[in-house]
Amino acid sequence: MNLFHIKRKTKTESIYAPNMGVLTTQVTYITKYFLKIPIKVLHKYRETYYGEIKDCEDCNLFI
């Protein structure tokens, strides 16, 4: 039995980019778990309209 494991989950979010405005995109979270309890998010990235992979630190979340 592993105590630690890493899981990848994708969900849809609304993001505000200064160049394009508000857009809806799929954001992938890579999360570290300890005994099936999430500890922290290791990395968060999204796929752009043109198919590029970008880090989510480049954009602001639109609420």
DSSP secondary structure string, the chain? --SEEEEEEEEEEEEEETTTEEEEEEEEEEEEEETTEEEEEEEEEEE-TTS-EEEGGGSEEP-
pLDDT per residue as tens digits for the range 3-44: 999 999 999 988 777 777 888 888 899 999 999 899 999 988
d(CA 44, CA 14): 14
Q: 0.75 cut: is pTM over it?
A: no
pLDDT score of 51 more than 90: no
Contact 51, 37 (CB under 8 A): no
